[in-house]
Amino acid sequence: MKSLITTIGIGIGLSISLAADELPTKEALKKAAEEAHAKFKDEKEGKNADYIPALAKVPSELFGIAIVTADGEVIEVGDVDYSFSMQSCSKVFTMCMVMEESGAEAIFEKINVEPTGMPFNSIKAIEHGDGRADNPLVNAGAIATVSMIKADSPEQRWKKISDYYNLLAGEELKVLEDVYVSEAETNFRNRGIANVLFNSGNLFCDPLEATDVYTRQCSVGVTTAQLAMMASPLANDGVHPVSKKTFLKEDEVPKVLSIMTMAGFYDGAGQWAWKTGLPAKTGVGGGIFAIVPGKMVIVAFSPPVDQYGNSVRAQKAIQYIADKFEYNIFDED
């Protein structure tokens, strides 16, 4: 990419420059999204996550793509009206909420920002480290993040998260109760993680409360466009391109993007950086959102996931669009 004027620091002293050329037209983005949808809609690789029983029942052929640009344009292609559970995509938004409430350093000090090198639901990662959760995008870190929200009760804790999500989406979002019940009945490992963190002094509310609120946030339903709206401030220096509300300080955005780059794709983060080169976060419900800093958020949704828990069709669709416009942040050519 040429004409380099915007610099994003993404951790460990690395600076990545992005092209300052104009945004593609809405028509060009729509065409690219339609091409990606047509190219990958018949992809058969992967299968629905089934360790949460409700997710196994979601129609596997669903496939939607949405883009929200930094100037507020919205592009939608495919099954964009289906409401799917955010799952781990939610972790980024609660982290942003805590950073705004307590400052970015609170995340660094109380959770840490290192990739684990272990599965996203690992207990060993806590025990082999210093008792903290390593980063906010693994389950332990997300549960710890929920516990950091300033609240006097579980109800207040959940209301603050829910209200924040609604503001980001620009409309009221609903918990998918069947997903919540399914997760709550099977989240024994997350309860164990919360207790290990609490025992080491690195959980900041009751363990069962933190686990339940975390489970509820993962069960919030979003469409592809709603998820793109929620993530859009991360592509626009912390300012929502539609509502114009500031959700994150400008100097905190690179910190969020750095964590997404290193830990947003579970154990597939290295492959994603190699192939696509965009900060991104996935959820086992089939959603992925990727940030093109200063330009747009690209979201894709399809339930079948790979061995790491990342949607197969969504990865390929986002990679196709990113390649078409040369949006790999590591490529300065």
Q: How many CB atoms lie within 10 A of CB 20?
A: 13
* Residue 327, marked binder: no
Cite the DSSP H helix spans in 53-206.
90-102, 104-110, 124-128, 139-148, 154-169, 177-184, 188-199
Residue type at position 42 = D
List Cβ neighbours of 139 (8 Å cut-off, separation of 6 or more). 88, 120, 121, 189, 190, 193, 214
Query: Which among 47, 88, 39 is positioned nearest to 65, based on CA atoms?
Result: 39
Distance CA 220, CA 87 (A): 8
Distance CA 276, CA 189 (A): 32
* Residue 139, marked binder: yes
* Residue 183, marked binder: yes
Q: Measure the CA angle with vertex 173, ends 170 and 178; round to 5°.
A: 165
* Residue 266, marked binder: yes
* Residue 214, marked binder: yes
Give the annotated binding-site residues for substrate. 88, 139, 183, 190, 214, 266, 284
Give the annotated binding-site residues. 88, 139, 183, 190, 214, 266, 284
